Amino acid sequence: MLSQYLYISTAPSLTRDDVAAILDSSARNNPARGITGLLLYNGRNFLQLLEGEGAELDALMKRIGQDRRHTGVSLLNKTAVSERACPQWAMKRVIIADSVSDRRKQLDADLPNDLEPTVRQMVLNFAVLN
């Protein structure tokens, strides 16, 4: 069954290169596993939306949970979906604007239209945290 998992985690001091390496892994591995999604990093926390078949998502969550670059992986939402919100992204890096007032506008432009409203709201709530 096609599912979406949304989780947050903590990583207080990663560099741009660290985040780029995570995106490289995603680009390398996710297509063959039918996994798509998006990733936000605010300098302290990650929020990641993963979508794909449940067994693939569970296997990836297990690896991600053991990854020492972050801690406190905490699943916020797990839901069955009929369509992917991010079909064209092995892993989309969603940038959080520096200026708080620009964030909502930029996210509205960047987030996929097909994101389920409650998931979209959780992503927006995360992104306005400082």
Ligand X SMILES: Cc1cc2nc3c(=O)[nH]c(=O)nc-3n(C[C@H](O)[C@H](O)[C@H](O)COP(=O)(O)O)c2cc1C
40 vs 111, beta carbon nearer ligand X: 40
* Other Cβ atoms within 10 Å of 1 Cβ, number: 8
* Other Cβ atoms within 10 Å of 48 Cβ, number: 22
Are the CB atoms for 34 and 53 separated by under 8 Å? yes
- Name which position in 10, 28, 77, 87 contacts ligand X (CB under 6 A): 28
Instruction: Read off the amino acid at residue 61.
Output: M
Shortest Å, Cβ 22 to ligand X = 5
Which of the ranges 61-69, 74-82, 92-100, 102-110 carries the binding residues for ligand X, by CB under 6 A?
A: 61-69
70 vs 120, beta carbon nearer ligand X: 70
**Residue 6 touches ligand X, criterion: CB under 6 A:** no
- How far is Cα 5 from Cα 55, in angstroms, rounded to an integer? 12
74 vs 104, beta carbon nearer ligand X: 74
